[in-house]
Homo-oligomer: A and B are copies of this chain.
Amino acid sequence: MLGKFEVRTDLALEAHENYEEMATPPHLRSAASRAAAGDHKTRKHGENSGIHGVRVEEEADEEREIYITTVTIETENAAKAMGKAVGTYITIEAPNMSTPDEDYHREISEELAKQLDVLLDGRKDSVLVVGLGNREVTPDALGPDVVNNLRITRHMMKEYGRMPSGMEASGEISAIVPGVMAQTGMETLEIIRGVVGQTHPGIVIVIDALAARSTKRLNRTIQVTDTGIHPGSGVGNHRNAINEETLGIPVIAVGVPTVVDAATIVNDTMEELIAEMDRQDSMKMLGGALGTLDQAEKHEMICKLISPYLNTMFVTPKDIDETVKYLSYTISEALNMTFARDCHRETGC
């Protein structure tokens, strides 16, 4: 329907909103979309999704300004409707996530560690963390930056059977930054599958920069899912999926939207322009010019105007360097907490 390009989002939350929007009459859409994209006050907590096979649960910690939405896609039909795989998608939203504070938002690290614990379900004996993305492109460096600050333990546990005194860990943590295809000539999946085959981790956690549909979501949302990831979706093309099906072991993905596709942003604004004109027309005169164009004709007109150059471009904030630095600390701290946690609980070390 949308012609030459795809309105893309890596966030299940946005995919869900898109779906609801499609079913919304045009004259209500703009408001619905605004409500969906960030205005928490208008959302009811714990509401059920309108799509069959999709469960949506919301939770708000108003004091710490952290909002959790859990989207569970339960059936293949729902997966098709949403354009997202069957599984659980936990979204942590915090408006001030990328503003600097003294301890890199420890409260968000704690919340993320809590949600990771839910999906890991105790499987922390041997974890491979993969920092996806291109460390040379600022908004795509999130994965590599997170890996830079992880406490790596596998080699020490292999050599000494435990961590040096003063450090704690519940299991063997290893990590790799595979790079992107333009740098390696290889699919990321090939590299990870090779490493998994040699080092036999029990579970993989991939960290990646994502693409959102709306600039309002950028750098204030963390998505955690047990469905894995499509590498390159952050700022590049879709590549072979990295998930339990392709790796043979569970894959948890942690992502933050740091870019919006340039074509998406232009398309969305033009759609709003047309909707706005429709509204004005209908107020000003019945049977206005746009009334004579159907939905398909409108989309065709938009597609014609979107420069083919835009499909290879992304939109990102000017202070993305600071933002990615802060976000990567917040996430690596959450992972370090998660990996050290069992230790306290069980062995009391």
Contacts and interface: CB of A to CB of B under 8 A. Distances in A.
Interface of A: 96, 99-102, 134, 136-138, 147, 151-156, 164, 166-167, 172-179, 181-187, 190-191, 193-199, 215-216, 218, 235-236, 262, 265-266, 269-270, 272-274, 276-277, 280-281, 284-285, 288-290, 292, 301-302, 304-307, 309-310, 312-322, 336
A307 B30 CA distance: 13
B176 A179 contact: yes
B190 A183 contact: no
A173 B292 CA distance: 55
B305 A312 contact: no
B289 A137 contact: no
Closest 4 CB pairs of A and B: A194-B194, A154-B185, A174-B185, A136-B321
B307 A313 contact: no
A246 to B, nearest CB: 12
B306 A269 contact: yes
A136 to B, nearest CB: 4
Contact of A215 (B153, B172, B302, B313): B313
B236 A318 contact: yes
Contact of A301 (B276, B305, B322): B276
Nearest to A307: B215
A149 to B, nearest CB: 9
B317 A313 contact: yes
Contact of A314 (B175, B184, B312, B318): B318
Nearest to A177: B179
Nearest to A278: B289
A184 B152 contact: yes
A311 to B, nearest CB: 9
A38 B75 CA distance: 50
9 contacts: A96-B166, A138-B138, A152-B184, A155-B182, A156-B185, A173-B185, A191-B195, A235-B318, A272-B305
Contacts of A136: 138, 321
Contact of A315 (B138, B235, B276, B313): B313
A175 B173 CA distance: 25
Given A154-B186, A182-B319, A280-B289, 6 more contacts: A100-B151, A176-B179, A186-B199, A273-B274, A277-B289, A310-B315
